[in-house]
């Protein structure tokens, strides 16, 4: 898998504050990589340095194997702060102005408005948009030149639950089209739902880096139910992959042996003539892992 970005001992100090301290990261093509941490952890400073907006005090970074920054920037769409759109102009008019500034042409505007879910409101003034719609238009502006890489700084910050869901769905859609996405966020739940990989920063220091799935792992507990729990319980007693089971009258909670998956239980029951009404796999949360990482590094 091609390496998109390599960060080597990148550091930035603002007076007495060490904003980023010898950061090492490697972002691969197709990853949705989350930089996770509380406010003041160095997330935005890191993004500013790799976009050549903030000068580092130490270290280096390479885009696309070592392309000149000016050439690499043409392949990156980014939103670092709240973009400035003209409130009395429509989405189409604002994107035309942005396209002119970026020398991107106007041919992608209609398809981008469809992608970000604003085509039906394309002729409405920007000032009439909700916060979620404004953020989606911002992401659309970053996509105008069809860049292979997208950088987002706190893309759901300040949005209501509906706006967060809209932006989350959009980021997932963009990622499915093969783009590499690097996003900073302090919202653990959003990183878990959107990102494939992540790192944790605190006071500019990287505490953890890895894939979301590997970090969360699998909990070997599964809840199942059917029309007849007694029959289901008798059938499950013969499954060699079940370590133990207990029932509360409406569900049976299973503890699975290593290597046994929820899909194995489903297939086993189906072959025995039982259709499961419920099959719920317990999972870890990124919040639990985040707090564990912080505690381990106290």
**Predicted local confidence at residue 218, as pLDDT:** 62
Q: For the chain, list the domains and their CATH numbers.
A: 3-213 (3.40.50.300), 221-281 (3.30.70)
Beta strands in 76-175 (DSSP E): 76-79, 149-153
CA 287-207-47 angle, 5° bins: 90
**Predicted local confidence at residue 44, as pLDDT:** 93
**Predicted local confidence at residue 34, as pLDDT:** 95
Structure tokens at 238: 């013969």
The count of other CB atoms within 10 Å of the CB of residue 202 is 18
**Predicted local confidence at residue 56, as pLDDT:** 95
Measured between alpha carbons, how far is 261 from 264 in angstroms, rounded to an integer?
Answer: 5
Residue 270, judged by CB atoms within 10 A of its CB (0-12, 13-18, 19+), counts as exposed
Nearest residue to 239 (alpha-carbon basis) of 261, 223, 217: 261
**pTM, to two decimals:** 0.79
**Bridge pairing between strands 17-28 and 3-14:** antiparallel
**Predicted local confidence at residue 219, as pLDDT:** 67
Stretch (H or E) spanning 244: strand 242-247
List of the chain residues with pLDDT < 50: none
Structure tokens at 298: 């106290």
């Amino acid at each position: 898998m091609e390496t998109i970005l390599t960060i080597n001992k990148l550091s930035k100090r603002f007076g007495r504050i060490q904003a980023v301290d010898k950061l090492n990261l490697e972002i691969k093509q197709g990853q949705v990589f989350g930089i996770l941490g509380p406010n003041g952890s160095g997330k935005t400073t890191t993004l500013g340095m790799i976009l050549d907006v903030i000068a580092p005090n130490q270290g280096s970074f390479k885009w696309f194997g070592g392309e000149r920054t000016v050439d690499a920037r043409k392949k990156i769409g980014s939103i670092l702060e709240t973009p400035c759109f003209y409130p009395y102009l429509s989405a189409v008019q604002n994107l035309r102005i942005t396209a002119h500034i970026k020398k991107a042409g106007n041919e992608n505007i209609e398809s981008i408005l469809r992608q970000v879910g604003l085509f039906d409101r394309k002729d409405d003034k920007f000032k009439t948009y909700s916060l979620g719609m404004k953020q989606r238009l911002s992401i659309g502006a970053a996509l105008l030149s069809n860049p292979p890489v997208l950088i987002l700084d706190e893309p759901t910050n300040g949005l209501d639950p509906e706006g967060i869901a809209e932006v989350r769905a959009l980021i997932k859609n963009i990622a499915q089209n093969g783009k590499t996405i690097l996003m900073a966020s302090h919202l653990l739940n959003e990183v878990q739902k959107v990102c494939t990989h992540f790192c944790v920063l605190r006071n500019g220091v990287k505490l953890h880096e890895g894939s979301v799935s590997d970090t969360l792992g699998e909990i070997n507990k599964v809840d199942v139910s059917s029309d007849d729990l007694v029959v289901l319980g008798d059938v499950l007693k013969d499954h060699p992959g079940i370590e133990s089971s207990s029932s509360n009258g409406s569900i049976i909670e299973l503890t699975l042996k290593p290597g046994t998956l929820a899909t194995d239980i489903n297939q086993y029951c189906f072959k025995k003539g039982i259709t499961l009404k419920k099959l719920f796999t317990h999972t870890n949360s990124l919040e639990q892992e985040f707090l564990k990482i912080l505690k381990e590094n106290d």
